[in-house]
Amino acid sequence: MTPDEHVAMFGTVDGELRVGGMPLSRLAARVGSTPFFAYDRSLLDGRIDRLRAALPERVELSYAMKANPMPAVVQHLSKRVDRIDVASALEMQAALDTTIRPEQISFAGPGKAPAEIHQAVAAGVIIEVESTTEIGRVIAAGDALGITPRIAVRVNPDFAVKGSGMRMGGGPQQFGIDAEQVPAVLEEYRDAGLDILGFHVFAGSQNLNAAIIAEAQERTVDLVSSLAEHLRTPPRYVNLGGGFGIPYTEKDRPLDLDAVADGLRALIDGPLAQRLPDATPVIELGRYLVGESGVYVTRVLDRKVSRGRTYLVVDGGMHHQLAASGNFGQAIRRNYPLVVGNRADAAGVDGATVVGCLCTPLDLLGDDVALPDAGIDDLIVIFQQGAYGLTASPTAFLGHPAPAEVLV
Ligand SMILES: *Cc1c(COP(=O)(O)O)cnc(C)c1O
């Protein structure tokens, strides 16, 4: 998607980018300092409405909150999703602070500490176990607390998903229990006093190819159906993962959600209804729910020309937004969409290089971007900042203050 398409998604008012209904410069005044992250409520809601309209009704929607754990965002989304997926005890506490019931919270992650497992068993959330060591710790916590733990087995599938930005299943993995080991594990823990609800398969993240996502879901249902034969009671929970991607660069096209939904509907009405009739299918999404609703807003501190190249130095950088600098799992650095937000209507004329304020050449936010002639105090906005921004960045690096975050 192009920067213009992102501007159109947010809209403009008086020539400025509109965020949360406000012209950007007014929002910056309201926040009181730059840089800051702003998340647009109406875009969050629009995304959920779109998903609900497309996906089969039986599918429950889970928010993978590591994408954006800001409490206001989590609270807002908790009224609109069915479930929350957490990956630490701290995230679990934030999820338990919402009105989502503990039975609707799942806890995944390959390195849950024994203390976290104890907390999770006490809370009554679904623990997605990733090894037999974890199963042992869950049983010990259940015994100590006098509670039957509720678990799902996270399975490392015997297939890999192509086209994922980050692969998290197939081949050797630190995630989950290898599919071929699962039958024996289920036999071993049959009488261990666990409530085994079902399975979780998460094959990968940031996929923009609907056909590949649909195929992964199909293979997941197939795999889970055969593993289910080794359970004492039919599965009530089948977490199909997610991995829906968002277009970060100009070359990326948005995911064809209707195509994904069509595949899912066929799967749910067919194989899932026949082979896993008691199971609630769950799709868990992080960036697809929140990523596109967020902007990172920085102010130009300096404009300089070095041997013919124009640099705009802004007051933010990779310490708040590691991914835009190309250092969060990308094989090749590509520009994130960015604009001069207080002059969003102006045409790009100038090839400018936007750099952050850190004293390292890694702190590159936009390489040779077409921007309107921008100078000191202009507001440079980076799009696609609602997920894996602030909490996925090295904020302590160079000791600059933390940015504000607002939900508007
Ligand atoms: C990180 C993660 C997600 C969310 O991934 P997105 O790409 O943000 O949708 C979902 N499920 C699990 C298990 C995860 O670890």
The protein residue with its alpha carbon nearest to ligand 1, atom 8, reads: 286
CA–centroid distance, 206 to ligand 1, in Å, is 9
242 touches ligand 1 (CB under 6 Å): yes
Quick check: 325 and 341 in contact, CB under 8 A? no
The protein residue with its alpha carbon nearest to ligand 1, atom 9, reads: 286
The 10 Å CB-count burial string (b at 16+, else e) for 70-80 is beebbebbbeb
Q: Which amino acid is at 71?
A: P
Atom of ligand 1 nearest to the CA of 87: 15
Q: Phi and psi at residue 368, in whole multiples of 5°?
A: 50, 65
Query: Could you state, in order of their start, the residue ranges of all structural domains in the chain?
Result: 3-39+294-407, 69-285
Q: Could you read off the pLDDT tens digit of each residue along the chain, which spans 408 residues?
A: 999 999 999 999 999 999 999 999 999 999 999 999 999 999 999 999 999 999 999 999 999 999 999 999 999 999 999 999 999 999 999 999 999 999 999 999 999 999 999 999 999 999 999 999 999 999 999 999 999 999 999 999 998 877 777 676 778 999 999 999 999 999 999 999 999 999 999 988 999 999 999 999 999 999 999 999 999 999 999 999 999 999 999 899 999 999 999 999 999 999 999 999 999 999 999 999 999 999 999 999 999 999 999 999 999 999 999 988 888 877 788 899 999 999 998 888 889 999 999 999 999 999 999 999 999 999 999 999 999 999 999 999 999 999 999 999
CA–centroid distance, 166 to ligand 1, in Å, is 10
CA–centroid distance, 242 to ligand 1, in Å, is 7
Q: Is 241 left (phi over 0), alpha (psi -120 to 50) or beta?
A: left
Strands (E), 159-264: 166-167, 177-178, 195-200, 204-205, 237-242
Q: Is 359 a catalytic residue?
A: yes
Q: How many CB atoms lie within 10 A of CB 179?
A: 20
Set 359, 361, 396, 399: catalytic member? 359
Q: Which CATH class is domain 3-39+294-407?
A: mainly beta
Atom of ligand 1 nearest to the CA of 66: 1
How many residues would you count in the chain?
408
206 touches ligand 1 (CB under 6 Å): yes
In percent, the amount of the chain with pLDDT more than 90 equals 91
d(CA 361, CA 306): 14
Express each pLDDT in 103-130 by its tens digit: 999 999 999 999 999 999 999 999 999 9
**What predicted TM-score, i.e. pTM, was given to this entire model?**
0.96
Which residues 6+ apart lie within 8 Å of 191 measured at CB?
none
175 touches ligand 1 (CB under 6 Å): no
62 touches ligand 1 (CB under 6 Å): no
Express each pLDDT in 356-388 by its tens digit: 999 999 999 999 999 999 999 999 999 999 999
Alpha helices (H) along 114-207: 114-123, 132-145, 182-188
**Architecture of the structural domain at 69-285:** Alpha-Beta Barrel (3.20)
**Structure token digits, residue 70:** 């800001």
Chain centroid, CA 104 distance in Å: 18
In angstroms and rounded to an integer, the radius of gyration of the C-alpha atoms of the chain is 23
Express each pLDDT in 195-215 by its tens digit: 999 999 998 899 999 999 999
Which residues 6+ apart lie within 8 Å of 48 measured at CB?
61, 77, 80, 81, 289
CA–centroid distance, 337 to ligand 1, in Å, is 23
Strands (E), 10-140: 12-13, 16-19, 22-23, 36-39, 60-64, 83-86, 105-107, 126-129
Distances (CA, A) of 30 to 136, 245, 300, 389, 403: 51, 32, 18, 21, 14
